[in-house]
Amino acid sequence: MPIIVCGINYKTAPIALRERAVFPSEKIPLYLNDLQTQENIAEAVLLSTCNRSELYCVTEDVERAVDWFCRQHGLSPAEIVPSLYCYRDQFAIEHIMNVACGLDSMVLGESEILRQMKDAFAESCAASAVGTLFNRLFQEVFAVSKQVRTSTAIGACPVSVSSAAVSFIKEIYPAQLNQATVLLIGAGVAVELVMRYLKVHSPQRVCIVNRSIQKAAVLAERYPCELICMTELPEALSNTDIVISATRSPAPIITSALLTARTKPLFIVDIAVPRDVEPAVAELDDVHLYCIDDLKNIIQKNLQGREHAADKAREMIKQKSHDFMLWLNSLEKVAVTIRAYRRQVEELCHIELSKAKKQLSRGEDPAQVLTDFSHALSNKLLHTPTMQLRQAGQEGRLELLQLAQELFAISAVEPELS
């Protein structure tokens, strides 16, 4: 059965569309259950990040999978189809491997996507949406990712969206960062990375606000910063020079109304998808609003010198995906052969069993009937293989004889006569 990938990413869709096609993490089990029960898709994995939303599944009905993807977000075909890509079999496997290795990321070689893919796979396993095929595929994907990162320079000098955000601020902020007050919104991995990169530049003041003050407190133990309650956000915004926001909120956290008390210029870098800052904020005087898509130029500067490593990694992935397809195709051929052989044996058994039943109905000796049945069935089962083996011996095809011994687990050594 075909392996399918369908989705959108930062290369095919603007952030305004990507934020409408997010699969919220808390609803992933519900989505997977719907795929299994309503769409009859036995194996599926959903990957949803700030830069992509993708469905990986095993299905014969590709159009049905694509239709399901569109329906979940209330998007019309006219809105999403121009940005939607769909890959099948080896191209799908290559894509999944490229994603896991960070080769399809906005930040080439970033490692965060591998963690996100492992989390997505674990969610599918917990929802019983992973079978033999996807279990084998994703173990291969994770192994390839490890090999790529250890045998190429793709992971050298790692760059992330968080580090790109800090570099971007350095370029656009007119003063020195050590004179700035920075407000961080969120307390997840992205914000923790921002804090790590900011620490080098020693901002005058760093504040962190998050709905869960306990989670923010954990970061405050690792990095020097002040904790602010969400209720104090309006006041904090009025005293801030720079805002970097990265939450998983489904709705904007910063609105135009929150910035009415502001008295100085404000630089906002919103790296969340869906966005944490409503677009209308950009229309306010002395507010400079940027989203994750605005970081592309900074990111491109960090890719210089790694193109060769990326090419080498893609060649490895192409070979690995080809090998996986060979295994998958051989598996299908084996299954077809086994089914055909089983059907053939069952037909022979049915014929001989029918004969035996008729003999018993005529009152013939049961012992003799069973003996005749045994001899007839064994002769029919052995007739064709015996003829083929004899012909192979006459033609000198001894490898077929060796395969037969292995297939039927038999020894060609004649037993000694006592």
- The pLDDT tens digits of the residues spanning 174-209 come to 998 999 999 999 999 999 999 999 999 999 999 999
Segments of the chain assigned to CATH 3.30.460.30: 3-155
Select from 57, 9, 10 the least CA-distant residue to 32: 57
Q: Using N-to-C axis directions, what is the helix angle for 307-361 and 132-151, rounded to 10°? A: 160
The per-residue pLDDT for 380 is 87
Report in angstroms the alpha-carbon separations of 110 from 13, 54, 133, 158, 274.
Answer: 20, 18, 27, 6, 21
Q: Kindly report the three-state secondary structure assignment for every residue of 298-367.
A: HHHHCCCCCHHHHHHHHHHHHHHHHHHHHHHHHHHHHHHHHHHHHHHHHHHHHHHHHHHHHHHHCCCCHH
> Which CATH code for domain 161-298?
3.40.50.720
Strands 44-48 vs 52-58: parallel, antiparallel or unpaired = antiparallel
Task: Tell me whether residue 225 is one of the annotated catalytic residues.
Answer: no
Segments of the chain assigned to CATH 3.40.50.720: 161-298
The per-residue pLDDT for 398 is 81
Contact between 252 and 277 under an 8 Å Cβ cutoff? The reply is yes
At residue 8 the predicted structure's pLDDT band, cuts being 50, 70 and 90, is very high
The per-residue pLDDT for 156 is 67
Strands 226-228 vs 205-209: parallel, antiparallel or unpaired = parallel
The per-residue pLDDT for 310 is 87
Query: To the nearest whole number, what is the mean pLDDT of the chain?
Result: 90
The residue with greater pLDDT, 86 or 399, is 86
Contact between 353 and 373 under an 8 Å Cβ cutoff? The reply is yes
The per-residue pLDDT for 154 is 81
Query: Into which CATH architecture does domain 3-155 fall?
Result: 2-Layer Sandwich (3.30)
* Residue 85 backbone phi and psi in degrees, to 5: -115, 155
At residue 404 the predicted structure's pLDDT band, cuts being 50, 70 and 90, is confident
At residue 304 the predicted structure's pLDDT band, cuts being 50, 70 and 90, is low
Q: CA-CA distance, 85 to 81, in Å (whole number)?
A: 8
- The pLDDT tens digits of the residues spanning 120-144 come to 999 999 999 999 999 999 999 999 9
Asked if the model's pLDDT at residue 418 lies above 60, the reply is: no
Asked if the model's pLDDT at residue 417 lies above 60, the reply is: no
pLDDT, average across residues 280-292: 94
Strand order in the sheet with 3-9: 44-48, 52-58, 3-9, 85-88
Asked if the model's pLDDT at residue 215 lies above 60, the reply is: yes
Asked if the model's pLDDT at residue 228 lies above 90, the reply is: yes
Conformational region of residue 249, where left means phi above 0, alpha means psi within -120 to 50, and beta covers everything else: beta
Contact between 100 and 142 under an 8 Å Cβ cutoff? The reply is yes
Select from 271, 211, 206 the least CA-distant residue to 242: 206
Looking up tokens 């809105």 gives: 79
Q: CA-CA distance, 32 to 129, in Å (whole number)?
A: 7
At residue 371 the predicted structure's pLDDT band, cuts being 50, 70 and 90, is very high
Q: Residues near 346 by Cβ (< 8 Å), separated by ≥ 6? A: none
Out of 50, 101, 225, 291, pick the active-site residue.
50
Find the range with the poorest average confidence among 192-196, 248-252, 329-333.
Answer: 329-333
Looking up tokens 């490692």 gives: 111
Q: CA-CA distance, 167 to 361, in Å (whole number)?
A: 90
3-state secondary structure of 261: coil
The residue with greater pLDDT, 288 or 262, is 288
